[in-house]
Structure 1
């Protein structure tokens, strides 16, 4: 047999530093310290694993408890204030969506009128399983979409339906009306109907607005994180790839069919684990260490989305840290977000530091130089988010972005644009300024809608966010 572990000068880290050895084994009196560390480590890993699930579960709770939305309603986020609870929201185009429990509705029929839309369906692990609108099978012609819950048989006659097999009991259905005319966009949204496929009576589909009500899609902190995870676990299927993580949850008191009632020890460990887990999530997100994360070697801009595909699967493994990185800082993913086809989809670049590699400080002034010829077929935008919430910055200005659709934006003589960030506007440059908040850090996304060839071959290069 190999040499025994333990002995003098073992030098265990953290709480295990107090463990003393009895020959080759730990003293029995110190076993509680070892089990505390074991449960703590499992809870931290479970936190990173469950970030996308808890994110959507939190947002679903806000829809129900704050907005009063049912499974059959749509919530429309139009104004800047509407989106302040939405993690890394686009400040340019409106969102229309809802979070639906198929365990309550059964197979769901969604009818959408003809018109320019982009949207789809994803489960609560934020894996896309269906597309509608111009990028989907209906190609913007509208139609009737049938969402079939996991394990249910697809009805025999679906010749006039677009059928989508859900990969979870809880789903997000969302879309954007791409119609630029507000009246036509309103009319298009009003065509959408959600009803049970089996013909059961359901409430009329309403278009619900936040109407100034405060809300947050940010994952809860402390013990509330685990309360949300326990609640959604009761209403979800068991995915084969997650069974070891579910074993960890079981050890922590989160189990199907059983109440979550942690004792004082477990509650303290779980509360500590959310703090440590979020610290790791912040490092994993704001200082990405994935191969090829930096888009240009001499710039601070990262590819914000590190997942390979909507299934969150790499070659021979599932993308745990890549997934945790994206779903700590953002919500939802579609294949269009990583388009490799010039003129289609979107590109997302993230800047978490300035040109010198320092965190972006809300009390300092910065400039971003956007060279001419931005390779975006449709438009581009640069947006500011609060690090603590990952939501749009809640500044007095009540705007967090500037971009090519901004009629106020002033370009330089050569077609380039300078965007300014700071607590006060540079004299005479208010049109190109986004206000930041002293005492709070921030980060930024640069989005290209319909990225073109010079983006993909990197011959066009965005400037860094540079201290003034």
Structure 2
């Protein structure tokens, strides 16, 4: 018997501490191997009693919302860029939209962007066949083409995985069968709608920005089988409970679901998701509609309440070891992607984040200035950076200095004799020397993210941890 996520959601919040999962009480088994075992032919029953029907819909909508949050968030981005021709972000499928400037306040494509790299975004539609991806020789410049399936699971063609020399890659789904051209590497992804989030490192100079922009244009996509298939896409701008379920229904009918999730997805059928009953039929029943709206709101509340719980440690820094590889951790997946889609696996980028200072109190620019001493700075093969985000908007903080991060490439960065770097966080830009080690903060709650791109073993084995952020009292 499947346990509803609604029944375990609140109690299960402690799982977000990233402790290893306990072993199953017994191994999974295949019941069809038993003699004369017969499978069900009909959909599960739908209660005739309206109150019972509403309760069932509420539970199933809760489960569906937790399960589908990442997919729906990604779909909305796909809709803006590849489907809605009236959207300013539109470029269509199988084509890059190149961001020509580093991310700043109000960055539109997604939340919590870095300000170290140029971003390029492309949405692949592989239902009609593979797409050829050409990667240029980057001459030692760090890049990663981060492939994300519709649920946010990540893989990479990058300097880390394939070096700097470039190559030709045939991007195909796992069920595609065909000939791979000579000199081309087959690279399989799990869902036909796949997002490529390309990051290209920029050194802090106008000359290097121009060189990086020219290199962006040499990353090319070419469909092998012609144009993408015509499809009736649901409205990506419908943020209601019904809109969420329509998108999730479309995703599951178009992309399918991983092996082993049959029972979970089957449980969504009573609310019109991925079953014989349509969304329109489910919503036409007042009790079911009310239950869907309640379950949707319940799940959103649980996700919101868990946003700062992504792998907390006693020192206040979160170390989300399973970003980009979620398995069946659906609440964790929903939380990470609500904080910001496009998370990479920690082999590529090991992020640390905190919302609190050394005293366990919320970071708040209206209350204090802060200081952090990196001794030593994060050991990383490609680069490291420290970035501030407004907690409410999850965006970079506007400031008079136009400075959104401090990192190993920051011009004029001051290091102590022992190699340590002291960073001062302040909103009072006139009360501190305007040196390269000053990072502006908002007049309110904020959070800090440390990125280590290409983390060294000292980070991955836990021997290097971020230092506490302390209030400035003098």
TM class, shorter-length: 0.7 to 0.9
Query: Cα gap change, 1:361/1:41 in structure 2, threshold over 3 Å: closer, same or farther?
Result: farther
What is the SS of the residue equivalent to 2:251?
A: helix
- 2:95–2:123 contact (8 Å) kept in structure 1: no
What is the SS of the residue equivalent to 2:383?
A: strand
What is the SS of the residue equivalent to 1:361?
A: coil
Q: Which of these residues, 407, 432, 442, is aligned with residue 411 of structure 2?
A: 407
Counterparts of 1:187 and 1:58 in 2: how far apart (Å)? 29
- 1:369–1:462 contact (8 Å) kept in structure 2: no
Query: Cα gap change, 1:466/1:186 in structure 2, threshold over 3 Å: closer, same or farther?
Result: same
Q: How far off its partner does 1:257 sit?
A: 8.1
Which one is further off, 237-246 or 169-178? 237-246
Counterparts of 2:452 and 2:94 in 1: how far apart (Å)? 33
Aligned to 1:287: 309
Whether 1:366 and 2:369 are equivalent positions in the alignment is: yes
Using the size of structure 2 for normalisation, the TM-score is: 0.73
Q: How far off its partner does 1:113 sit?
A: 2.0
Counterparts of 2:402 and 2:260 in 1: how far apart (Å)? 43
What is the SS of the residue equivalent to 1:94?
A: strand
- 2:105–2:395 contact (8 Å) kept in structure 1: no
Aligned to 1:41: 59
Aligned to 1:301: 317
Q: How does 1:174-213 map to 2 (within 5 A)?
A: 174-178=197-201, 180=203, 181-198=208-225, 200=226
Q: How far off its partner does 1:168 sit?
A: 0.8
Aligned to 1:126: 152
Q: How does 1:46-65 map to 2 (within 5 A)?
A: 46-64=64-82, 65=84
Which one is further off, 144-153 or 229-238? 229-238
Q: How many residues align?
A: 401
Q: How far off its partner does 1:88 sit?
A: 1.9
Counterparts of 2:405 and 2:275 in 1: how far apart (Å)? 43
Q: How far off its partner does 1:172 sit?
A: 1.2
- 1:74–1:98 contact (8 Å) kept in structure 2: yes
Q: How far off its partner does 1:362 sit?
A: 4.8
Query: Cα gap change, 1:272/1:357 in structure 2, threshold over 3 Å: closer, same or farther?
Result: farther
What is the SS of the residue equivalent to 1:428?
A: coil
Q: How does 1:75-224 map to 2 (within 5 A)?
A: 75-77=97-99, 78-79=101-102, 80-81=104-105, 83-103=107-127, 105-115=128-138, 116=141, 117-129=143-155, 131-137=156-162, 139-155=163-179, 157-178=180-201, 180=203, 181-198=208-225, 200=226, 220=239, 222-224=241-243
Aligned to 1:254: 273
Whether 1:272 and 2:294 are equivalent positions in the alignment is: yes
Counterparts of 1:360 and 1:251 in 2: how far apart (Å)? 44
Query: Cα gap change, 1:400/1:257 in structure 2, threshold over 3 Å: closer, same or farther?
Result: farther
Which one is further off, 62-71 or 235-244? 235-244
- 2:50–2:287 contact (8 Å) kept in structure 1: no
Which one is further off, 161-170 or 376-385? 376-385
Counterparts of 2:90 and 2:322 in 1: how far apart (Å)? 35
Q: How far off its partner does 1:153 sit?
A: 1.0
Query: Cα gap change, 1:45/1:259 in structure 2, threshold over 3 Å: closer, same or farther?
Result: closer
Q: Which runs of 5+ in 2 are unaligned?
A: 1-46, 229-235
Q: How does 1:12-51 map to 2 (within 5 A)?
A: 32-51=50-69
Q: How far off its partner does 1:351 sit?
A: 0.4
Q: How far off its partner does 1:111 sit?
A: 1.8
Counterparts of 2:290 and 2:365 in 1: how far apart (Å)? 33
What is the SS of the residue equivalent to 2:191?
A: coil
What is the SS of the residue equivalent to 1:176?
A: strand
Counterparts of 1:62 and 1:334 in 2: how far apart (Å)? 22
Counterparts of 2:402 and 2:248 in 1: how far apart (Å)? 33
Q: How far off its partner does 1:59 sit?
A: 1.2
Using the size of structure 1 for normalisation, the TM-score is: 0.74
Aligned to 2:326: 312
Q: Which runs of 5+ in 1 are unaligned?
A: 1-28, 203-216, 340-344
What is the SS of the residue equivalent to 2:168?
A: strand
Q: How does 1:65-80 map to 2 (within 5 A)?
A: 65=84, 66=87, 67-77=89-99, 78-79=101-102, 80=104
- 1:400–1:434 contact (8 Å) kept in structure 2: yes
Query: Cα gap change, 1:417/1:426 in structure 2, threshold over 3 Å: closer, same or farther?
Result: farther
Counterparts of 1:164 and 1:456 in 2: how far apart (Å)? 26
Whether 1:444 and 2:448 are equivalent positions in the alignment is: yes
Query: Cα gap change, 1:177/1:253 in structure 2, threshold over 3 Å: closer, same or farther?
Result: same
Query: Cα gap change, 1:373/1:107 in structure 2, threshold over 3 Å: closer, same or farther?
Result: same
Q: How big is each residue's C-alpha offset from its partner over 1:408-431, in whole Å with a ceiling of 9 and x where there is no partner? A: 544567654443445433612444
Query: Cα gap change, 1:142/1:416 in structure 2, threshold over 3 Å: closer, same or farther?
Result: closer
Counterparts of 1:370 and 1:218 in 2: how far apart (Å)? 43
- 1:76–1:96 contact (8 Å) kept in structure 2: yes
- 2:349–2:451 contact (8 Å) kept in structure 1: yes
